[in-house]
Amino acid sequence: MSSTATLLRPIGRCRVMGVVNVTPDSFSDGGLWIDPGAAAEHGLELAEQGADLVDVGGESTRPGAMRIDAEQERERVLPVVRRLAGQGVDVSVDTMRADVAAAALDAGAVLVNDVSGGRADPEMIPLVARTGAPVVLMHWRGHADRMQDLTQYDDVVGDVVRELRAQVDAALEAGIAPEHVVVDPGLGFSKTGEQNWTVLAGLDTFASLGHPLLVAASRKRFLGELLGDDDGHRPVTAREDATAALTTLAAAAGAWCVRVHDPLRSVDAVRVVARLAQEIRSTPEGLP
């Protein structure tokens, strides 16, 4: 298991985070891993496939999803975190609640992945500051039941960077160490399909924030729209090749990590990008 000091340290390639949704209603795998035992086994499989971290979440954040209470979220998440951490897996907890994050860290999680970027629960940022845990701060404008009503931007990339910078500044002012902050542009959250593509085209702009970047595009709706036909969107589980393509692009843009449901293709993709980057660095300037 990685230490806090090494988790965000460069390792020569983009990391891959596998996803375990212990929910009945997530857009991709809702209901598949609602049993904690099955969820833990799936997390171990993701680690065996090469995932560097396994992200465990107990509350769906798909567009339109309704919130559950904290007790139910803890009951879903904690047994899975304990089992995976006990097997030496680096576990991140996907939660917007400080008390769930605290319990998960006590159970062995090593990173907090807060899709609200600390905005949904005023206790989240102070908790992370006290514990010293690394945290992912995602760009966020509102909860799932209304987030797609909040897609108005003057300049989507510039506005997302500016709003993320405000979230990062709040975290740093609260005492979170700069080296413990990861940023996530929040693909699919308060963004239309077209806006997601614009954000992806501007990934290099997020380097201006000065923190590692997490990209979470796996199986998302805008991929289904792109790949669809007259019969409708491409089914969720048939978007893996497109996900791997975006993993390649994110890794080439310098992302610290990609968050994916099926790590196999993405693990290969980040290794290819790293090897090519190594070759480019070693090739004398001017040679093909």
Nearest to 253 by CA among 282, 277, 224: 277
What is the rounded distance in angstroms from the CA atom of residue 100 to the CA atom of residue 57?
A: 10
Q: Tell me how crowded residue 201 is: count the other CB atoms within 10 A of its CB.
A: 12
220 catalytically annotated: yes
Q: Tally Cβ neighbours within 10 Å of residue 222.
A: 21
Q: In the chain, which residue ranges form alpha helices assigned H by DSSP?
A: 4-7, 36-48, 70-86, 98-106, 124-131, 156-173, 193-201, 221-227, 240-252, 263-282
* Residue 99 backbone phi and psi in degrees, to 5: -70, -35
Q: How far apart are CA 185 and CA 199, in angstroms?
A: 8
Q: Which of 57, 54, 52 is nearest to 8 (CA)?
A: 52
Active site (annotated) includes residue 221: no
> CA–CA distance from 89 to each of 27, 33, 47, 54, 109 (Å)?
25, 18, 7, 7, 9
In the set 82, 97, 220, 239, the catalytic residue is 220
Q: Indicate the residue type of 149.
A: D
Residue 229 DSSP label? B
Catalytic residue among 13, 74, 119, 259: 259
* Residue 102 to residue 125: CA distance in whole angstroms: 11
Which residues are catalytic, by number? Answer: 220, 259
